[in-house]
Amino acid sequence: MTAPKQQYYAKRAELLVKNLKSRHFDAYYCATKEEALEKALSLIPQGASVGWGGATSAQQIGLFEALHHGDYCPIDRDRCETPEQRQQAMVDCMTADVFVTGANALSLDGQMVNIDGMGNRVASIIFGPKTVLVIAGMNKVEDTLDAAMIRARTVAAPINQQRFMRDTPCSKTGACGDCKSENCICNQIVITRHCRPVNRIRFILVGEELGF
């Protein structure tokens, strides 16, 4: 990554960390994926049960591999052998010690936007796990909440649907069709604007382009 972009991300992150903390989130900035992995592991207690939903950014920094090889109790739906076990894993995530997630978008004033298909990911962000750990590349940050909403709907969701390639307008065109398809993944749109209890949700902002 070029030095100007690194500087740009670092300066925006300084402001964003301040604004997140003003909303009673805990927040940190790491310039690289390697620093982000080290910070994430420092925030997860040894022996903790750790679950996650769709979290490409966390996967990209190597967090899931580290959890499987460390002294933790991962709840990994992707390693389940049956649909029933996978469903139970998603339910178990709601009572995990730590829930790891990404963010579809963040606004510079400290608000997070997430879109979900099944709802399990946003449900765990809202309530249940003792701690929520958000891994987010600075490419997810927009100047305003309105812009963050647009990013989540017109960038993050259509790209995510390319992974699943279900029968929706955005899987065919790459553009949001504001659809009501049976296979729509934009079923819950959640804005997290404040943290209660204080510091339950922790952000690790990464000065690299992560996720979608």
In the sheet that holds 98-101, the strands lie side by side as 26-30, 201-206, 131-137, 98-101, 49-52, 73-75
pLDDT at 165 over 90: no
pLDDT, mean over the chain: 96
pLDDT at 15 over 90: yes
3-state secondary structure of 44: coil
Straight-line distance from the first to the last Cα atom of the chain, in angstroms, rounded to the nearest whole number: 17
Summarize the confidence of residues 15-22 as an average pLDDT. Answer: 98
**Nearest Cα to Cα of residue 116 among 188, 183, 192, 182:** 188
Summarize the confidence of residues 1-7 as an average pLDDT. Answer: 89
pLDDT for residue 212: 93
Helix residue spans in 44-109 (DSSP H): 56-60, 63-69, 83-92
Summarize the confidence of residues 120-137 as an average pLDDT. Answer: 98
CB contact at 8 A, 38 and 183: no
CB contact at 8 A, 34 and 211: no
pTM: 0.96
pLDDT at 148 over 80: yes
> To which H or E segment does residue 146 belong?
helix 145-151
pLDDT for residue 164: 80
CA–CA separation, 202 vs 206, rounded Å?
13
Least confident piece of the model among 7-11, 166-170, 186-190: 166-170
| Residue 83 DSSP label | H
pLDDT at 2 over 80: no
Summarize the confidence of residues 45-57 as an average pLDDT. Answer: 95
CA–CA separation, 140 vs 124, rounded Å?
20
Q: What percent of the chain has pLDDT over 90?
A: 93
